[in-house]
Chains A and B, each alone.
Chain A
Amino acid sequence: GAVVSQHPSRVICKSGTSVKIECRSLDFQATTMFWYRQFPKKSLMLMATSNEGSKATYEQGVEKDKFLINHASLTLSTLTVTSAHPEDSSFYICSATPSFTNTEAFFGQGTRLTVV
């Protein structure tokens, strides 16, 4: 099946620094990718919809200046957590659906971010 690669799988950073997470569709093109955040012991929360070549659409309550999303190509979307704080520590996961199809979404492996 189709593969979505998310990198890094784990990252530890200091407060105040920025971290970039990449989401790549390895064998298909994805016009749209989604970014999710999982809070401890809770379910997933959709953060934003990433559209190739245009601005991302953020869910209510998600700070767009803090969570910068860039979808520069049909196979790559990036999420940058800017000026990270300990409360940003979480599990971030992306998903992608092949363009011009109605197939299921494929998920990245997720990224565990720890801000110290």
Chain B
Amino acid sequence: GDSVTQMEGPVTLSEEAFLTINCTYTATGYPSLFWYVQYPGEGLQLLLKATKADDKGSNKGFEATYRKETTSFHLEKGSVQVSDSAVYFCALVYNNNDMRFGAGTRLTVKP
């Protein structure tokens, strides 16, 4: 079935460092792909999404490109801030099937 495999954490970076969180998926067709972020004590928030191959989602300096050839949707940010410390979830939806989440990656950014 459809699934998402996400880079395990935790990830600890210094402020202004480059961030990559890997996400690969398995799906029978062409799912929509999402990155969600959860800040401490809060619910999930949609960070960005892409609905077809080669689409690039971007928001708040984060980017992810839908790569069909590698079935990947890696999250990147060029310069992280302390305020980016959170847990990040990769997810997919295919047709009307239920959303599948990755396990989540905790990011801690130190000043």
User: Residues of A with Cβ closer than 8 Å to B?
Assistant: 1, 32, 34, 36, 38, 40-44, 46, 49, 91, 93, 95, 102-105, 107, 110, 112
Give the CA-CA distance A82 to B82 in the complex, in Å. 42
User: Residues of B with Cβ closer than 8 Å to A?
Assistant: 9, 32, 34, 36, 38, 40-41, 43-46, 49, 87, 91, 93, 95-96, 98-99, 101, 103-104, 106
Give the CA-CA distance A53 to B49 in the complex, in Å. 36
Does A41 contact B32, Cβ atoms closer than 8 Å? yes
Name the CB-closest residue of A to B95: A41
Give the CA-CA distance A110 to B2 in the complex, in Å. 15
Of B38, B46, B96, B106, the contact of A43 (CB 8 Å cutoff): B46
Of B41, B95, B99, B106, the contact of A44 (CB 8 Å cutoff): B99
